[in-house]
Amino acid sequence: MATSPDAPQASQRWHLSEILVAPERFISHLFDRWNLRSGRMQLLIWAIGRLAVLLTWGLINPETQGDVVYYYEHISFMFTAGPADTMTEYPTPVLWLLTVPWLLGFGTQTGYVVAFVLLMVALDVAFTLSLWAWGGRLRAHAVTFWTLFVVFIGPTVYLRFDLVTSVLAGWSLLLLLRRRWTTSGALAGVGAAIKLWPALLWPALLGGSRRQRIRTSLGFWICGGLLALASLLWAGWNRLVSPLSWQSGRGLQVESVWATVPMVLRAVGLGDYAVTISRFQAFEIYGTGIGFWSALASIATAAGMAILVAVFVLWWRHGHGTTSQAALLMMLVILTMIVTNKTFSPQYMIWLGGPMAAAIALLGRQHPDARDYALDRRRLWLICIAILTTTILTGIVFPIGYDPLVRDSFITRYWRLPVTIVLAMRNLLITALLGYVLRLVKSFVWPIARERRP
């Protein structure tokens, strides 16, 4: 088997500092040692990983299917009560999406859960195959990242429909490279119709020629507009805008970055805090100083949106951005949405997987001698390592350590503080990742930073 010339010997021991300084050499070493470029090896790892996820769900964490049961109950309710009052926290097209497993499951709860999971697995398979087909020289790297990412997320990945928006975002990036601009924009439009936030990804797809921008925008606005019109005609205006008012009324969720300090104080017994489940089906924290942290979150959200607008304007002014830049901008949007928000559910981490895997595939289509290729690759591997680490920490928080985090019980005194520390580490890491990605984006959108770049 051929070995990369810069790959170290298999017996070399790697230290964390070496991995962070030269992540591309460490990853090359792993791929050579374990023959990860082989299609058969990738298939084996994928199959083992997915089996592990499904077994974890069935044997260890069956309670994680609670959201799917919630979908089933409300879709069943919709057939008698109508769509206007059904799951008003979600955009109307979600009801159509969630009706599919109801039909496939013959209207039974068990059938619904099984059909929902199988549909998510099928989507996972389709995205994995597209990464392999379109990933060029780094197709094995893209598939490996996606395989590990899904495993580290755990059963949650198949028990929420956030996987749909993540994959749609990834496909919209991949289709840019194949010059299928209208379809790329349309997929972003579908994502926005399902989850709202992917609407912010549309500007990241507009880095090419004037013709490309027009076609991508037409795909986005026509598709999104038709879905909005159909939603209005089917369920009315109040149902169309209800997700906006729903989100604005939420409190400080226990896992959010802005709840980190109150959660740590609560874990060590300082201050007066209570954690209860709110009417938004989320665990929120109340007590000392919560109003201050909620206000900071609102300010940060507004500031984050303003920064994104400025970044996109600067990027468009430079013209003809690369697909790698588009991928970084997508990551910036998603990280900004997560970090500045006063809510942070475990499934939000799923949003990062599709665009990140697509970014690796896009890099694999570039020539190794292209300008900044080596630097882009090193930066990409650092982001991959950070995302996978953050995902593991999220999995420790939910579902493994969630009960001690949000409920008072006999074991709380022993496990609440360790789980809270893991939560704080996760929040610090994802905040640092946002800062790192923002710095990378600044290097190609801000002229002075670009001129000084080594």
Q: Can you point out the beta strands (E) in 101-199?
A: none
User: How confident is the model at residue 14, as a pLDDT?
Assistant: 62
HSE-CB for 25 with a 13 A CA cutoff: 17
Q: What burial letters (b/e) apply to 110-138, b meaning 16+ CB within 10 Å?
A: ebbbebbbebbbebbeebbebbbebbbeb
Tokens of 415: 């496990």
Full pLDDT tens readout for the chain, 454 residues: 344 443 444 445 666 666 666 666 667 766 667 677 788 899 999 999 999 999 989 887 787 788 999 999 999 999 998 999 999 999 999 999 999 999 999 999 999 999 999 999 999 999 999 999 999 999 999 999 999 999 999 999 999 999 999 999 999 999 998 889 999 999 999 999 999 899 999 999 998 888 999 999 999 999 999 999 999 999 999 999 999 887 777 899 999 999 999 999 999 999 999 999 988 888 999 999 999 999 999 999 999 999 999 999 999 888 778 888 999 999 999 999 999 999 999 999 999 999 999 999 999 988 887 777 888 888 999 999 999 999 999 999 988 888 899 988 777 778 999 999 999 999 999 999 999 999 999 998 886 544 444 4
For residues 396 and 42, the answer to whether their CB atoms sit within 8 Å is no
**SS3 of 343, please?**
coil
Euclidean distance between CA atoms 229 and 69, whole angstroms: 29
User: How confident is the model at residue 453, as a pLDDT?
Assistant: 44
Q: Which residue has the tokens 């665009």?
A: 355
What are the residue ranges of helices labelled H in 196-259?
210-235, 237-248
Task: For residue 146, give the amino acid letter.
Answer: W
User: How confident is the model at residue 169, as a pLDDT?
Assistant: 97
The contacts found for 310-318 with CB under 8 angstroms, 24 or more apart, are 311/441, 311/445, 312/203, 312/204, 314/445, 314/446, 315/207, 315/444, 315/445, 316/203, 316/206, 316/207, 318/444, 318/445
User: How confident is the model at residue 21, as a pLDDT?
Assistant: 62
For residues 449 and 347, the answer to whether their CB atoms sit within 8 Å is no
